[in-house]
Chain A
Amino acid sequence: MTDTVAAAPLFDCRKAFAEELIALATADERVVVVCNDSVGSSNLVKFRELFPDRLINVGIAEQDLVGVAAGLANGGLLPFVSAAAPFLTGRALEQIKADVAYSHARVVLCGQSPGMAYGELGPTHHSIEDLSWIRAVADLPVIVPADPAETRAAIRWAAAHDGPSFLRIGRFAVPAVHPDDITFQPGRSRQLTEGDDVTVIAVGTMVSRAVDAAARLRDEGIALRVINMASIEPLDEAAVLRAASETRGVITVEEATVTGGLGAAVAGLLSQQRPTRMRILGVPRTFAPTGSTEFLLTHFGLTADGIAAAARQLAGDGPR
């Protein structure tokens, strides 16, 4: 458990991704990587040096990228697809649905630099729709690690999983919120702070900010329960329902549009099983203005301050 991470060192999760992939490939010769001219942006230069035959670069061709990966799985290999999240999920959505998920092809889809990591490059390069799109596809786990340790753990799990999976690999630097030796289990969340007043359920870049918000609110006498829900699909329903019964309200926060990601998953569960006051924080259904990632996160209130403000509202009004 981490109390405050505001001043902690920051990590690019792509580095953990690349290192873990090399470890896996060293141990298992079936591991191959498929990319779309994304060797540099996926931090795969060293992988290519070590395993030149096992890095398949299909060029700038995302439909081919995902189809080829499904074929490699059919041929007995263990392919990791590594591509910028907006193009992987947007351009190849039907391949993800038909060739990977519906065909039950053992492919690990790694969406790199998701959310608004490409800041000033603009909404064409932002991947805020991915969680809504991918969560709608059956039989495809949706995983958003929060830090390097969880990124490594999720990759190890995906490599051993008998089926497809989608992982969001963060580029925007984040502090570590987990110890190095954690394991990942689908459908299991991690509670990072104790608290019985309000719950924050966060994923990815938002987890450390939720932890920061908890530290700030503690001085005000509000105990915030922070849950890292890295496994959006399958969702840790028990943890969500417990939070709804034990605290005054539930906040979700994600670096994604609020149309169908984490917030929609939690709201869908609670509205039917335990109606609960909620705040769903994320990017509204709009295209972002120009700005850096940090600027845009602040612009949309995706900060410790934004989370704390929502928590004060839920702590202050209405019964449990």
Chain B
Amino acid sequence: MKKKKWPFVYVAVITVLTYIPILLTVVYSFNTSKLTSVWEGFSLKWYRELFRDRDLGEALMNSLILAVLSCTFAVLIGTSGALGMSRRKRKTDEVVAYVSTLPIMIPEIILGMVFLSVFSLMGLPFGMVTLVIAHTTFCVPYIFTMVRARLVGMDHSLEEAALDLGATKWQVFCDVILPQILPAILSGVLLAFAMSFDDVVISIFVTGPKVNTLPVKIYTKLKTGVTPEINALATVMLIVILLCLMGAYLLGRKVKAPAGEK
């Protein structure tokens, strides 16, 4: 079949379009003027202001702590759940599996509403604890589903062989099962982390007056008006992500390289 050009042109055009708003924020982060409609010259003052902003720094820390905690709990719950459910066919398992994915199926706002009402019924103080509980519920499905899918395609004879050869259950888990499901856990964590770190809707509902996450902070800032600081923040975030990706790429090459040399 002959290759046509226009599909690639189409994909390229759309991709460029999706990057325009991001590039604009980067460009305007260096603008002297507070207004985005005029370009007055190059300046780094918004970066200075960004790094001076204590609240924003605190919000960033909160978001990181929140994402790490939620992902950790989600890995423990999701992975053990997927492992426990593998190789047995029970109706109750299916029901629990289905219910556990509801948090990413229903609109975020409902989940936020659900937690707000439940936490206020329970009398839990709104803050980090409520945030972690809420975020863990929508992190679990990403990890659970990934690990479960991986387990379906896994060769169980290896576990049996290890057990027959006298390995303890824990050894089997560490040496046989874990290496096989680790990629699934990691890709689940990657998604869950991004979702938690970026979540506005649910966080707005379950956060307390004293705890701000980064997206909540950005949201309130955007609502109040022009904030060139946000441009600078966007640029910094983009750079961090690109660095992480580059790191992951280099690491991936290093891991792959020895195998390739053989």
Tell me, yes or no, whether A binds B.
Answer: no
Q: Which residues of B contact A (CB under 8 A)?
A: none
